[in-house]
């Protein structure tokens, strides 16, 4: 492909990629001005990283040329970078660490100690059991030492992730096999940022590589009925969750055989459906 064609193609797909994100932003009170403020920081950082990878001298003029930012802005960003330890300044755009709640659910659904023979999460008594059987207290302690188990339990009940059962309400049942709280916006956004961000990173790496290093496939089909979509949705919810459990179990088994490593993975499954002529974002 001609080098001059690429910017034109990228501009054409930009609206399609941005459209759902902008919908989320404006629906939650984020204006173009705020979006622009964050975008400037991101353009600065990525331009800085590009120059470093190419082994070129990083100057405010060169950064301005690549990013399109005014030279006064790149000069100010460089000043902030130096005052904050020498790395490009970027406020809240990097991937956040995994939520302890999602880590808890992952362990509960994937560790055979906390599931029955069919892989269904057990209902766990809160307190440590004298006979050595699993408990919520033990599970919490294996995930984090920064939050007391009773506080962890209270917050997970509030989020709708677990529900107390039994006559004494001291046994806890996992309410959602796939963690996505229905009420806590901050937790939902943490997952949104990580999952969509990692998928986009993988896609970008694949676009820039001769041989794509990351697996990325989708099954696209049109002309389905409403009933067809419901059947496929049910299939994905069942088989997709089983696949993710397998990934969790395999990762847990591998990690238990050595000291903590430096790598992380993120493997996800998504499902989307709409009317064939609804997508006009182009």
What region does 274 belong to: left with phi over 0, alpha with psi -120 to 50, or beta?
A: beta
Domain ranges of the chain: 100-174
Average pLDDT, integer, range 182-194: 79
CA gap 90, 196 in Å, rounded: 19
pLDDT at 105: 86
Task: Give per-residue pLDDT as tens, 218-238.
Answer: 999 999 999 999 999 999 988
pLDDT at 97: 57
**End-to-end alpha-carbon separation of the chain, Å?**
22
Helices 60-67 + 32-53 axis angle, to 10: 120
CA gap 277, 282 in Å, rounded: 12
How many degrees, rounded to 5, is the angle at CA 211 between CA 221 and CA 273? 20
Mean pLDDT (the chain, rounded): 86
Label residue 159 by pLDDT band (50, 70, 90). Answer: confident
Q: Are strands 162-165 and 171-174 parallel, antiparallel or unpaired?
A: antiparallel
Which position has the token pair 């182009």?
282
pLDDT at 88: 66
Radius of gyration (Cα) for the chain, nearest Å?
Answer: 23
Average pLDDT, integer, range 113-122: 88
Average pLDDT, integer, range 172-176: 84
How many degrees, rounded to 5, is the angle at CA 241 between CA 235 and CA 242? 95
Label residue 182 by pLDDT band (50, 70, 90). Answer: low
Q: Is 4 helix (H, G, I), strand (E, B) or coil?
A: coil
Task: Give per-residue pLDDT as tens, 67-114.
Answer: 999 999 999 999 888 887 766 645 544 545 567 887 888 888 888 899
Contacts by 232-236, CB closer than 8 A, 24 or more apart: 232/271, 233/271, 233/273, 236/269, 236/271
pLDDT at 35: 94
* Contact predicate 120/69, CB 8 Å: no
pTM to 2 decimal places: 0.74
Helices 100-110 + 149-158 axis angle, to 10: 90
pLDDT at 31: 92
Residue 66 pLDDT exceeds 90: yes
Residue 2 pLDDT exceeds 80: no
How many CA atoms are closer than 13 Å to the CA of 52, on its beta-carbon side? Answer: 9
């Amino acid at each position: 492909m001609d080098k001059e064609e690429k910017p034109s193609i990228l501009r054409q797909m930009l609206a399609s990629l941005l459209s759902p994100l902008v919908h989320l932003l404006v629906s939650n009170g984020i204006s173009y001005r705020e979006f622009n403020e964050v975008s400037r920081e991101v353009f600065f950082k990525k331009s800085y990283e590009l120059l470093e990878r190419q082994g070129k001298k990083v100057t405010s003029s060169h950064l301005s040329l690549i990013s399109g930012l005014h030279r006064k802005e790149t000069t100010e960003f460089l000043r902030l970078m130096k005052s904050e330890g020498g790395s490009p300044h970027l406020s809240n755009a990097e991937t956040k660490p995994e939520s302890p709640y999602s880590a808890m659910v992952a362990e509960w659904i994937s560790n055979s100690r906390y599931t029955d023979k069919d892989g269904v999460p057990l209902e766990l008594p809160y307190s440590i059991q004298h006979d050595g059987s699993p408990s919520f207290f033990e599970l919490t302690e294996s995930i984090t030492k920064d939050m007391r188990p009773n506080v962890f339990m209270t917050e997970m009940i509030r989020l709708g992730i677990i529900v107390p059962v039994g006559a004494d309400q001291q046994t806890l049942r996992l309410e959602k096999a796939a963690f996505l709280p229905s009420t806590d916006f901050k937790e939902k956004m943490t997952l949104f940022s990580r999952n969509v961000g990692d998928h986009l990173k993988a896609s970008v790496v694949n676009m820039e590589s001769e041989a794509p290093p990351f697996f990325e496939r989708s099954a696209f089909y049109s002309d389905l009925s409403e009933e067809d979509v419901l059947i496929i949705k049910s299939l994905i919810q069942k088989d997709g969750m089983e696949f993710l459990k397998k990934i969790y179990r395999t990762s847990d088994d591998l990690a238990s055989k050595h000291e903590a490593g430096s790598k992380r993975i993120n493997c996800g499954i998504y499902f989307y459906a709409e009317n064939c002529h609804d997508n006009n974002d182009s």
